[in-house]
Amino acid sequence: MCATKVKTQTAPADSADHTIDRTDKAILRALQRDASVTNVALAAKVNLSPPACLRRVERLKQLGFISGVVALLNPKALDASMLVLIGVVLDRSTPESFALFEKAAAKVSGCMECHVVTGEFDYFMLLRTRDNDSFNNLHATQLLHLPGVRQIRSFMVLKQVLSTTQFPI
């Protein structure tokens, strides 16, 4: 049996490690592809009875392997087909300046992700917007007013080569 020991952040204090086996991995892979699958169909895919499959899914949720179930929306259908990566450099590298920036960045329209990074930039943000005009407006009304920002560099995505929400399991 192929088992993986994984330490989870949501684990009870008295249990250090949790083991998932190949059936758990198969469940996780199937749910990543289509979380709307019924329990009966999922059970058939992973060769379990429906009650056993449901117990495993609930266990995977309790252990923190499944943190939520969402619908992935089509950006073009929602008039948000322009994808922009933003590199941000702050004036100061203090806990206070980072906290102020992060609080404000979470409120930027169309901000899908914001990450503290190493290297030339302090943060990378991923934004979705309609087009150049809407990005220019967002830049002028929101990005330029983020607290503690020394420099912003925008990178317009010309072609999305790969984007996935699926972890390799």
Return the closest-CA partner of residue 46 out of 36, 58, 56: 56
> What residue spans define the domains of the chain?
4-62, 82-156
Q: Please tell me the distance from the alpha carbon of residue 141 to that of residue 125, in angstroms, as a whole number.
A: 16
What tens digit of pLDDT does each residue of 103-154 get? 999 999 999 999 999 999 999 999 999 999 999 999 999 999 999 999 999 9
pLDDT bracket for residue 18 (50, 70, 90): confident
- Structure tokens of 63? 């252990």
CATH says 82-156 is which class? Answer: alpha beta
Same topology for domains 4-62 and 82-156, yes or no?
Answer: no
The reported pLDDT for the residue numbered 17 is 57
Q: How far apart are CA 121 and CA 59, in angstroms?
A: 39
Report the pLDDT value the prediction gives residue 14, as an integer from 0 to 100. Answer: 38
Averaged confidence pLDDT in the chain: 91
Q: Which fold has domain 4-62?
A: Arc Repressor Mutant, subunit A (1.10.10)
Q: Once rounded to an integer, what is the mean pLDDT over residues 48-77? A: 96
Identify the residue with better confidence: 36 or 3: 36
